Structure 1
Amino acid sequence: MAKHEKRTDGKHAQLAPNPIVPGWYADPEARIFEGRYWIYPTYSAPYDEQTFFDAFYSEDLAKWTKVERILDIDRIPWAKRALWAPSPIERNGRYYLYFCANDIQSDDEYGGIGVAVADKPEGPFRDAIGKPLIDRFHHGAQPIDPHVFIDDDGTAYLYYGGWGRCNVVKLNEDMISLGRFEDGSTYAEITPDQYVEGPCMVKRKGLYYFMWAEGGWGGPDYSVAYACASSPLGPFERVGKILEQDPDVATGAGHHGFIQAGEEEWYIVYHRRPLTETDRNHRVLCLDVMEFSEDGRILPVKMT
């Protein structure tokens, strides 16, 4: 597969060919840490084998280096299986990794969303509190798919939720405990129309772009849609899809993160299923350009 063509206006870098790394991975989050681009994905396998996280870093978005087992289930005393959807952030010189484990189906089961901490982006991460950070169904949201976001005013939010419901919580300054909103509540529901899972927040020019995955993750129709709001708490009214399957390229494109490499240089990192694959766990990591229209809409992403 040929590399992405470099734009003639010089706006975007030359990217690695898709998939950008070998192996089955999904649910990627991306950050810039210590001058490097980082991607933290799920290791895509049956839940009883999905027991660790790898990470990848790059200096230029073209060549990616793997760091193995930045967090292993042996370092999470309450987790038994099904680690997925890591979301990293840096604060006060430390690195925090939010993740879900055990795939709980009710409040009678133990698991949910946890938090790990490390001194370096590559870890090793260790469980920070010895128990889940969120371990119950609030407003009907399964406690999965965390996405951490720190606003310009320093307020940290954690968006999460499966089963068609999305909540947001505030994180305290320590990043390992939950705060409260002005009304005294801890969990605020912000579910937009057709939301399924995989929340992601981007702030651009004062607007909050809230994105999520629609469809079933194991099928071809998995996709990404978004909404805009003037507040990180919404309300979020669905605008439309920006990423979906292409019968000439791949199916099941969704659950994404993003990289802002320059003022108006944006990339979307996501997983998709090659046309040759039917196993739902056979997902690969991909990176493509994400662009905005003059009126601030996210343009449909062209998979390459």
Structure 2
Amino acid sequence: MKYLFSSLLLLAGLASLAQDSKTIKQSGNPIFKGWYADPDVAIFNNKYWVYPTYSAKYKEQVFLDAFSSDDLVTWKKHEHIVDTSAIKWANKAMWAPAIVKKDKKYYLFFGANDIQSDNEIGGIGVAVADKPEGPYKDHLGKPLVDKFHNGAQPIDQFVFKDKDGQYYLIYGGWRHCNIAKLNKDFTGFLPFEDGTIFKEITPDNYVEGPYMFIRNGKYYFMWSEGGWTGPDYSVAYAVSDSPFGPFKRVGKILKQDASIATGAGHHSVIINEKKGAYYIVYHRRPLTETDGNHRVTCIDEMKFDTEGNILPVKITNEGVKAQKVK
């Protein structure tokens, strides 16, 4: 009987350890296999979603994949949610998707063709679907933004919903960033009070990859600095009382760690309001890689100090602990 009781205790202990190991399960970095960059994130139907760029040569970037997860640890791949067969005007360089749900529809904003002047076909497009995994079809049959306004290359789009429900497109490469007010059906823009469509909100050292969120009534504007193929690609931020700024640069919060990875940048943020948790999802380059396109998607926790400043993020190989949406 004594031996049986000891055995039962041992089994109970092993079961407890197994349960603990499940509880503290880590995502690891990268969070899924493959060369992927420029991730945008969302929470739909109690699942986490990541929409990245397929990181390859421009002519091979003719589709977008998506990934979904219940817990930030196990990810399901949704292949070719949109490609150039659905977007007739796009032929290469499908970049930096930005996702938003509105009126039971899912809108996927993306850049295509890497245009270098107003005389080329391409820019920022919009695709629409009934489900987050698509399939997506062309919403306009043409680009939403196909010109250089205020010097901003029409790439790296982000859709921001303000407190009043208004949606804005924030975008721009070539060291310029614009904000524009989207109309209700995302087919165009509404002018600001002064009659302009595109307002420049470029902060110091801005290069590309804008992202914005609200916390405690403040507007946090984040962006990428440095060259995307280099080791010093990084993320910085500013804070303002308005989505239009002025945005004074605070400093970098995400950068390479020479012992882990280089080129950490072009990010987005998962905000789990119920858990009060913030996660930065970004790409970086493994230490073993020299090819500029060899980038992987990673996740780490993002924290704030008591004054609301974003603390520098420590990039890790472990990633984050499992976390359900609810």
TM-score by length of 1: 0.95
- Cα distance in 2 for residues equivalent to 1:110 and 1:19: 34
1:84-111 per-residue CA deviation (whole Å, 9 max, x = no partner) reads: 1000000111000100000000111110
Indicate conservation of the 8 Å contact 1:273/1:283, yes or no: yes
Partner of 1:5: none
Partner of 2:108: 97
The runs of 5 or more residues in structure 1 that have no matched partner are 1-11
Which one has the largest radius of gyration? 2
Helix, strand or coil at the partner of 2:128: strand
Partner of 1:139: 150
- Cα distance in 2 for residues equivalent to 1:76 and 1:276: 35
Kindly indicate whether residue 255 of structure 2 is the aligned counterpart of residue 238 of structure 1.
no
Mean CA deviation greater in 111-120 or 255-264: 255-264
Partner of 1:6: none
Partner of 1:287: 299
Helix, strand or coil at the partner of 2:285: strand
- Cα distance in 2 for residues equivalent to 1:14 and 1:243: 24
Q: State the identity %.
A: 62
Partner of 2:78: 67
1:263-304 per-residue CA deviation (whole Å, 9 max, x = no partner) reads: 520000000000000000000000000001110000000001
Question: How far 1:152 moved relative to its partner?
Answer: 1.7
Mean CA deviation greater in 176-185 or 249-258: 176-185
Kindly indicate whether residue 181 of structure 2 is the aligned counterpart of residue 170 of structure 1.
yes
Indicate conservation of the 8 Å contact 1:253/1:273, yes or no: yes
- Cα distance in 2 for residues equivalent to 1:185 and 1:194: 25
Q: Among 45, 54, 70, which residue is 1:34 paired with?
A: 45
Partner of 1:205: 216
Runs of 4+ in 1 over 3 A off after TM superposition: 12-15
Indicate conservation of the 8 Å contact 1:156/1:171, yes or no: yes
Kindly indicate whether residue 135 of structure 2 is the aligned counterpart of residue 119 of structure 1.
no
Structure number with higher relative contact order (C-alpha < 8 Å, ≥ 6 residues apart): 2
Partner of 1:51: 62
- Cα distance in 2 for residues equivalent to 1:201 and 1:125: 25
Q: How many residues in Structure 1 have an aligned counterpart in Structure 2?
A: 293
Indicate conservation of the 8 Å contact 1:40/1:56, yes or no: yes
Partner of 1:8: none
Q: Among 163, 172, 176, which residue is 1:152 paired with?
A: 163
- Cα distance in 1 for residues equivalent to 2:295 and 2:171: 22
Partner of 1:301: 313
Larger helix share, 1 or 2: 2
Partner of 2:265: 254
The runs of 5 or more residues in structure 2 that have no matched partner are 1-22, 317-326
Decide whether aligned partners of structure 1 residues 294 and 14 sit closer, same or farther in structure 2, where only a CA change above 3 A counts. Answer: farther
Helix, strand or coil at the partner of 1:48: helix
Partner of 2:286: 274
Q: 2:129 is matched by which residue type in structure 1?
A: A
Question: How far 1:176 moved relative to its partner?
Answer: 2.5
Kindly indicate whether residue 237 of structure 2 is the aligned counterpart of residue 223 of structure 1.
no
